[in-house]
Amino acid sequence: MNPSPPDVAVVGAGVVGLMVADTLAREGARVTLVDRGRPGRGATWAAGGMLAPLGEAPGPGPFLAFALESLGLWEGWAEQLRQRTGSDVGYVRCGKLRVARDDDAHDLRARARWQREEGHDVAWLEGAGVRTVEAALAPEWGAGLHLPDHARVDPRRLAPALEAAVRASGVDVRTGVEVRSLVRSEDAVTGVELADGKSIEADTVVLAAGAWSGGISGLPRRLPLRPIKGQMLSLALDRPILGGLVAGPGAYLIPREDPDGPLMVVGATMEDAGFDTATDGSSIDGLRSAAEALVPALAGRPERERWAGLRPALPDGLPLIGPDPELDGLVYATGHHRNGILLAPVTARVVAGALSGGPPDSRWAAFGPARFP
């Protein structure tokens, strides 16, 4: 137990809360990290682990700049987690290939054009050129956009590594503890109240409860967060089939190394279905047949697992990061939707910057809470 109240209480121990807590603790703050379940078992556990800024951004702008900055931080995070915890989190700079059929390549071609014009390292491939990157693709995929800097990480290795890291940094990790509301005095936060009626005092509260962040009482504004369900499955392989990430109509494919052998992770649906995390046969079948259309060698591979998770989504698709302008001591770190694994390192940096009292980075003003008055 801490002898005196922590400086910071972080609500939610997904990838975002874990990286925020670790960063703040290493900068000298006394941090309590609270999760109502086990760390990293929310959306973080369900994620594919693609680190793919150019694959995700609709065009140039703050989101792409933010995502590229975070991608640049990932290798350092993977390395320091290895040094501090002995864990390999499965970070590989494996590249990503997005494919289309020749007669349906208009959007992909337009994407290649703006990405090249913006100076990004991308390659446009046609015909058999597509299979020089991934030989296992079916011949019908005659157009491809290759993003060689993109990477992957294994969220199921990442979550325990981050938990070990935060504990080693001296963070007080409270699991199985639900936060019910903020505790406020006039215009400042003084801590959080728990479901068992107890409370944790803190000068600062970081809200990192993923899709559930809007359910905490006492917030000074209504957060229009929605859970967007994603179903996925994994297939057991005899040997690796792909070198990198592949995306095409209806599915993306992520190679993953498991202690029991290589896997292909296949994702993912996007469903506005409340907080339900059930999988259903027709969605899984749809993902499976889209995956087999991309890579015929996946046909007949045994299913290892199917699962679903909830992406924390805001209406504009952007994350919500930064201090509340009206309530002192409340900092948001949520709404990362499809890209929380990718964006967690830069989010942790921005939150640490906000707490250090320095001037806010104007490049990220679009992610602030003032957009939800």
Ligand X SMILES: Cc1cc2nc3c(=O)[nH]c(=O)nc-3n(C[C@H](O)[C@H](O)[C@H](O)COP(=O)(O)OP(=O)(O)OC[C@H]3O[C@@H](n4cnc5c(N)ncnc54)[C@H](O)[C@@H]3O)c2cc1C
Residue 359 belongs to what H/E stretch?
none
Closer by beta carbon to ligand X, 26 or else 338: 338
> What residues make contact with ligand X under the rule CB under 6 A?
11-17, 34-37, 41-44, 46-50, 178-179, 208-212, 216, 230, 232, 267-268, 309-312, 334, 336-342
CB of 171 to ligand X, least distance (A): 14
CB of 152 to ligand X, least distance (A): 8
**Among candidate residues 290, 283, 288, 281, the one with its CA nearest the CA of residue 250:** 290
Residue 125 belongs to what H/E stretch?
strand 123-126
Closer by beta carbon to ligand X, 146 or else 337: 337
Closer by beta carbon to ligand X, 37 or else 62: 37
Going 201 to 205 to 208 to 211, the CA torsion angle's sign is positive
> What CA–CA distance (Å, rounded) separates 102 from 203?
57
Question: Tokens for 205?
Answer: 């509260």
Closer by beta carbon to ligand X, 142 or else 230: 230
CB of 224 to ligand X, least distance (A): 16
CB of 186 to ligand X, least distance (A): 24
Closer by beta carbon to ligand X, 105 or else 331: 331
Closer by beta carbon to ligand X, 99 or else 105: 99
Helix (H, G, I), strand (E, B), or coil: what is residue 29? coil
CB of 44 to ligand X, least distance (A): 3
Beta bridge partners of 192: 182, 200
CB of 108 to ligand X, least distance (A): 19
Place of tokens 């997005």: 98
Alpha-helical runs (H) found in 169-304: 281-294
Beta bridge partners of 321: 333
**Among candidate residues 23, 5, 10, 62, the one with its CA nearest the CA of residue 353:** 23
CB of 119 to ligand X, least distance (A): 23
Q: CA-based Rg of the chain, rounded to a whole angstrom?
A: 21
CB of 46 to ligand X, least distance (A): 4
Question: Tokens for 250?
Answer: 């209806």
Closer by beta carbon to ligand X, 105 or else 263: 263
Closer by beta carbon to ligand X, 95 or else 142: 95
Backbone angle region of 62, left / alpha / beta, with phi > 0 → left and psi within -120 to 50 → alpha: alpha
- Spell out the SS3 assignment of 140-170: CCCEEEEECCCEECCHHHHHHHHHHHHHHCC
> What CA–CA distance (Å, rounded) separates 48 from 33?
24
Report yes or no: 39 and 172 within 8 Å, Cβ to Cβ. Answer: no
CB of 311 to ligand X, least distance (A): 5
Closer by beta carbon to ligand X, 47 or else 293: 47
